[in-house]
Amino acid sequence: MYTFARCSLKQPSRTLIAVGMVLWPTGLAHRISILGSDSPFTREVERLFVVVLLFSILIVAVVIGGMGYVILRFRHHGRKAMVEEQAPDIPTPAHLETILTVIPLGIVLILFGFTAQSLYSYAQRPANALVVNVTGYQFWWNFNYPEYGLDYPNELVVPQGQAVQIEGTSADVMHVFWPPDLAANINLIPGITNRGWFRADRAGIYYGLCNQICGSSHAWMLFRVVVLPPDEFNAFISEVRNYQAPQPATQSIAQGAQLFAQQCAACHLVQQTSGQQLAGPNLSLFGNRITLGAGRLPNTPENLKRWIANAPGFKPEVRMPAFPRLSNADLDALSAYMLSLKLPGFSYSDPSQR
């Protein structure tokens, strides 16, 4: 607000910006929340939140009520009287210390019981879970589906209503996998596999982030969870398994494919090849992705050109170098080629889904 107060905007513009700044976080809070009914995890968190909140209200009521009573009861005793008079003789209940110890201890034990119950129920790993190997990289995510031999980086596509078992590790520094609407943090540590699970009970697009400082672009290490109805998920998977990178349909796409082979193929694959992993994300099906640069920008041709030309400008310390020598026509061709790598009929970029 300080910046806006100093700049020379006219009053109506300032008012609009101020209203926008107030409403924007509200909208964001609606989209990302650790409370809610979208997953068993958030339901447990919400249950604990309500229990703790009720006890907190009770404690505040007792403390404020007691203070209020004392203030009103003795309001006629002035400062002078308080110093000179004998303190009033208030009758003290027997065993006061015992009562004041047992009540808080009881509250703590009740909260402990609820928490232990939630932890126990969440620790029960469901059978028939879809296994996804999650690997954190500076600053992107690889989601590998061992059952299907599929790598689909930065967007985790899962079926609605089926448990997803996460097997998480890191390729470099420590990261934390966290889709707040769906699951608890899972620490991704090099050389160690940490496990956790979640289930999304509602179809839609959910936000995810890295929850551990891991370098200059930690804040841009984002992902999406795309939750599809089971039929659509099965259709997606069967299409993916039969996927072949399409033949270039236009001159520009063919030129893009050639440029890709020269400039990009050392770090990026464009075909699912089980087990093979290069330095950068696998880009087969890139045209189906909602975002690029691990959630950095919406996946549009214009953004893709800007990203290829100068990725470090969008994401400091990213491994991908800038390509200042590519002409605008080269960038057009590359972007046309990369966006052509897709399964037709599977577009998830409609934000109204969430």
Residue ranges that bind ligand CUA, judged by CB under 6 A: 136, 139, 175, 210, 212-214, 218, 221
Q: Which of 328, 344, 319 is nearest to 255 (CA)?
A: 328
Q: How far is the CB of 210 from ligand CUA (least distance, A)?
A: 3
**Smallest distance, ligand CUA to C-beta of residue 194, A:** 14
Question: What whole-number distance in Å separates Cα of residue 51 and Cα of residue 39?
Answer: 19
In the complex, minimum distance from the CB of residue 316 to ligand CUA, in angstroms, rounded to a whole number: 13
In this complex, which beta carbon is closest to ligand CUA, that of residue 221 or of residue 264? 221
Q: Find the shortest distance in angstroms from Cβ 170 to ligand CUA.
A: 8
State the first-to-last Cα distance of the chain, in angstroms, to the nearest integer: 30
CB of 200 within 8 A of CB of 40?
no
Q: Are strands 163-170 and 130-137 parallel, antiparallel or unpaired?
A: parallel
Strand order, beta sheet including 150-151: 150-151, 140-145, 130-137, 163-170, 194-199
Nearer to ligand CUA, 122 or 220 (CB): 220
**Please, which residue, 191 or 344, has the CB nearer to ligand CUA?**
191
Q: Determine the distance from the C-alpha atom of residue 8 to the mean position of all C-alpha atoms in its chain, rounded to a whole number.
A: 37
Helix axes 328-340, 301-309, angle to 10 degrees: 120
Cβ-based nearer residue to ligand CUA, 218 or 268: 218
Give CA–CA dist 139/281, Å, rounded: 10
Q: Which is nearer to ligand CUA, 173 or 343 (CB)?
A: 173
Supply the minimum distance, in Å, between the C-beta of residue 206 and ligand CUA. 18
Burial class (CB in 10 A: 0-12, 13-18, 19+), 186: buried
Closest CB to ligand CUA among 212 and 288?
Answer: 212
State the minimum distance, in angstroms, from the CB of residue 312 to ligand CUA. 17
Place of tokens 């063919």: 254
Tokens of 322: 């800038």
Minimum separation from the CB atom of position 179 to ligand CUA (A): 14
Task: Compute the least distance from the CB of residue 173 to ligand CUA, in Å.
Answer: 7
Q: How far is CA 161 from the centre of its chain?
A: 19
Q: Which is nearer to ligand CUA, 214 or 339 (CB)?
A: 214
Q: How long, in residues, is the chain?
A: 354
Question: CB 137 → ligand CUA: shortest distance, Å?
Answer: 8
Q: How far is CA 116 from CA 34, 59, 145, 181, 349, in A?
A: 19, 22, 32, 21, 40
Q: Which is nearer to ligand CUA, 122 or 139 (CB)?
A: 139
Ordered DSSP codes for 233-289: HHHHHHHHHT--PPPP-SHHHHHHHHHHHHHTTTT--SS--TT---SS---TTGGG-
| Helix pair 96-123, 40-73: axis angle to 10 deg | 170
Closer residue to ligand CUA (CB): 210 or 227 = 210
